[in-house]
Amino acid sequence: MEESEREGREKVSSLIDKATNSTDPEIETRLLKAIKLVVRSSDSELRLAVETLMEKMKKDHSQVRYLTLLIIDELFMRSKLFRSLLVVNFDQFLSLSIGFRRNLPLPAPLAVASRLRTKAIEYLEKWNTSFGIHYRQLRLGYGYLKDTLRFQFPNLQQHAARAQRDRNEREARSKEILLKKFETLRENFLSIKNEVQSTIDEIGECLEILKTEEDGFIPLDSVDDDDVEDFRPSALQKIRLESLNEGEKICEDSDNKVVFDALRELHKLLVNKHLVIVQEWMSVLVRVEATDTRFRDSSLKEFIDIRNRLRLVKTKCEQTGCSLTNPKDRDDDDMWEECKIDMVANGSCSAPNPPSENLVITSTLSKVKNITPVKIETSNGTTATEGFDGTTSVKSKLLAEAPIHNWGSYLDNWGNNRDFLANQRGLELENHWGRVDSDAVIPAERIAELNVQATLYKEEPVEVQPCLAPLKKGGLCQRKDLRVCPFHGPIIPRDPEGKAIDQGPTEEKTIDLEAGVTEQLAKRAVKNVREREREDLKQRENDKKNLKRAKLAKVREHNEKVLRQSAIASTSQSEVMGEDWASVGGNGSHGKEKKQTLASMLRKKVKPKDRITQKLLSARVRDATTRQLAMGADAKYREAYPNQW
């Protein structure tokens, strides 16, 4: 019983040991879970855990303290007994985790220490909000740090509350706005309705007029058709009917142009204004929480009606003529594309476009692929579609060979064959300097000459391969040199592990095909010799290292023996320690892998800056500099007063 208990005890502390002996910023979840499980099993475990954790908090290493703090938080949020035990020495805990006592600052790795502090403050706040009411010590610690030392707490809860409040406020405001809108709607409802109604009526009238015009032709047409063709297959009949329908669609011409314009206007008004407005009001009505639900419902109903009517009218309009269907945005697209066609197809021919368009064209030139050259200005879809196929093929051909130019002011006069007046600027300032020939011209050739574009040679980007030689500390050398890496020799293709792929001969063969075989052989020989030398060197180094290691191991062994003997002589308990030492020593011998340890965190890293400062501030360099400065001053003096000795 006792035995098992003791085992358990050791288990907790060893688990905590293991969890805190790491350089990660997090506790391993598996270990954490194990700790929780063990601690949960009995109260004595928990007591031991508290003790161990407090011991860990006293360690002179911020990383250990940080990890301990994480464990403490986990247990603190869960166990009541843990809380009541921790709280007894709470001031000590706080001074160790936050380091508010000036004579007890947080220990070494500075970055971790600051992280530890912020985390501890955060936890303290959390604990205080959730358990403060039950533990006076928590409240005291929190109050002391906040009111006396004026620590900045993250105030998470308050932030959340404030965000909530803000949200509520915003909602209330939007509700208010909705309500206001609703009120205005109640006032304006009739006028809106009337406006929409009037537009619909006008459209109806327009359509009516068109219809009547149409009616003039149709009977004649149909009669004519009926006369000529008596009977046909049904398919043909169908096609004919369709074409008839098509024909029924009223075409715009000079007679009904005014009506069409009006219709178009009205349609635009309908789509862009009324429909949108109605939708808006509907959404307002849906969202608003008005007291007068009756009015809301009725108006909503009416709006739905209006919308339906509007849609009906819209479809009717669209059926009338395809010209009306073009919405505004497509309009713009078409404009640009058309211009581009001009540009590309006509090449250098005259196209006096505004510069802004030029910009767009030149920039989007390569991007645009599908071109629908529909001319909107005339708004006759038929004319444009005719040349569709032909233009695309020509254009793509031209596109392929067209030069790409940067945009510039010269494009204003692109392909212009005119002479330019030289002295025509609108200002007559030049008259002060004598007579000016206002008719002087610059010939077109001259202008063309001036506008000749300089082309710059652009080097093709060469991707420099990284060296990729394997590094001692693992990973591959990422240095990018053109030919030779200063550390790993010539850059050669390597496999993913960094081993050289033996391509040397084949490569060289391709390169030195014309060069003599002798040269190649010489190169090989040199290379072989070099390799052997390198190997020898490596071998020697290894030997030296092994020797050293062996010597060290011998010394260590001796030390251990002595220590163990003395330990055995003194107590039985310290034998374990001796073994521990041995294991530590063992770790040290193959600790060459440079696994990051807690101790390594404390060591200061040597940065390039340090090296530079070391070099620059060394005594020799300083002396040399002062000497040089003195000499310089001397020389200056002698130059200034050459007659003095």
Partner 1 sequence: MWKKVGEREVGKISPYSFANRIRSNRISSLDLSNYKEIVSVHRGAINSLQVGDWAGPPVEVQMGGREGLEMSCMGEGCLVAGQVDLTEGRYLLSAASDGSAAVYDVQCAAKYEGGGLVAKHECLFVVDKQHEHGHKYSVSSAIWYPIDTGLFITGSYDHYVNVWDTNTTQVVVNFKMPGKVYQTAMSPIAKSHMLIAAGTEDVQVRLCDIASGAFTHTLSGHRDGVMTVEWSTSSEWVLATGGCDGAIRFWDIRRAGCFLVLDQSRSQLGKRPPFLERSSSKGSASKPFQAGQSSNVKVKIPLKKTTNGNSTKQTPNISRVPRQTKGWHRPHPGMMSSHDRATAHYGAVIGLKVTADGMYLLSAGSDSRLKLWDIESGCNTLVNYEATRLQTSKPIQLAITQDSSLVFLPCMTAIKAFNVWSGKTFRTFRGHYESVNCCWFSSQDQELYTGSNDRQILVWSPPKSVHREVDEKFGEGQMSTSDQDNWSD
∠ CA 355-357-360, rounded to 5°:
115
Q: Least separation, in Å, of the C-beta of 52 and partner 1? A: 19
CB of 466 to partner 1, least distance (A): 47
**For the CA atoms of 471, 476, 481, 484, what is the dihedral angle to 10 degrees?**
50
Q: CB of residue 584 vs partner 1: minimum separation in angstroms?
A: 34
In order of 32, 493, 576, 577, the CA distances from 12 in angstroms are 11, 53, 19, 19
The 8-class DSSP code of residue 643 comes to: T
Identify which of residues 99 and 321 has a Cβ nearer to partner 1 in the complex.
99
**Which C-beta is closer to partner 1: that of 136 or that of 165?**
136
Q: How far is the CB of 608 from partner 1 (least distance, A)?
A: 45
Contact string 453-492 vs partner 1 (x = CB under 8 A): ----------------------------------------
Q: What's the closest the beta carbon of residue 19 comes to partner 1, in angstroms?
A: 16
Handedness of CA 589, 592, 597, 603 (dihedral sign): positive
Comparing C-alpha atoms, which of 411, 399, 487, 422 is closest to residue 453? 411
Identify which of residues 82 and 281 has a Cβ nearer to partner 1 in the complex. 82
Q: Which is nearer to partner 1, 45 or 334 (CB)?
A: 45
List residues bridging with 421 in a β-sheet.
Answer: 441
Q: Do the beta carbons of residue 560 and residue 581 sit within 8 Å?
A: yes
Tokens 């055995």 correspond to what residue?
A: 568
Is 33 or 162 the residue whose CB approaches partner 1 more closely? 33
CB of 92 to partner 1, least distance (A): 8
DSSP string over 96-145: HHT--STTS---S-HHHHHHHHHHHHHHHHHHHHHHGGG-HHHHHHHHII
Cβ-based nearer residue to partner 1, 84 or 188: 84
Q: What are phi and psi of 421, to 5 degrees?
A: -75, 130
Which one, 131 or 336, has the nearer CB to partner 1? 131
Angle in degrees, 0-180, between the axes of helices 573-589 and 517-570, rounded to the nearest 10: 170
What is the closest distance, in whole angstroms, from the C-beta atom of residue 11 to partner 1 in the complex?
Answer: 18
Beta bridge mates, 489? 485
Q: Please count the residues of this chain forming the interface with partner 1, following the rule CB under 8 A.
A: 29
* Residue 285 in tokens: 């009505």
What's CA 269's distance to the chain center, in Å?
42
Binding pattern to partner 1, positions 4-43, x when CB under 8 A?
-----------------------------x--xx--x---
Site for partner 1 in 524-583 (CB under 8 A): none
| Residues 236-265 interacting with partner 1 (rule: CB under 8 A) | none
Task: Please identify, using beta-carbon distances, which residue of 77 and 602 lies nearer to partner 1.
Answer: 77
In angstroms, the CA 13 to CA 19 distance is 10
Q: Which of residues 300-329 bind partner 1 (CB under 8 A)?
A: none
- Nearest Cα residue to 50 out of 68, 32, 31: 68
Dihedral angle of Cα 72, 77, 78, 84, to the nearest 10 degrees: 70
| Type of residue found at 382 | T
Site for partner 1 in 120-179 (CB under 8 A): 130-131, 133-137, 140-141, 143-144, 147-148
- Which run of H or E residues covers position 544? helix 517-570
In the complex, least distance from residue 41 CB atom to partner 1, rounded to whole angstroms: 11
Are 567 and 577 in contact, with CB atoms under 8 Å apart? yes
Minimum CB separation of residue 164 from partner 1 in Å reads 21
User: Phi/psi at 103 (nearest 5 deg)?
Assistant: -85, -5
* Least distance (Å) between residue 149 CB and partner 1: 9
> Closest separation between CB of residue 123 and partner 1, Å?
16
State the minimum distance, in angstroms, from the CB of residue 138 to partner 1.
10
Q: Output Rg (C-alpha) for the chain, integer angstroms.
A: 45
Contact partners, residue 366, CB within 8 Å, separation at least 6: 404
Pattern 54-93, partner 1, x by CB under 8 A = -----------------------xxxxx-x----xxxxx-
Residue closer to partner 1 by CB (options 138, 485) is 138
Instruction: Name which of 94 and 278 has its Cβ closer to partner 1.
Output: 94
Q: CB-wise, 13 or 89, nearer to partner 1? A: 89
* Residue 490 falls in which region: left (phi positive, over 0), alpha (psi -120 to 50) or beta: beta
Q: Who contacts 111 (Cβ-Cβ below 8 Å, separation ≥6)?
A: none
Q: Which is nearer to partner 1, 134 or 554 (CB)?
A: 134
Residue 294: C-alpha distances to residues 5, 180, 184, 289 (Å): 77, 17, 16, 12
Closest approach, Cβ 146 to partner 1, in A, equals: 12
- Taking the least distance from each CB to partner 1, the nearer of 140 and 448 is 140
Q: Point out which residues bind partner 1 (CB under 8 A).
A: 33, 36-37, 40, 77-81, 83, 88-92, 94, 130-131, 133-137, 140-141, 143-144, 147-148
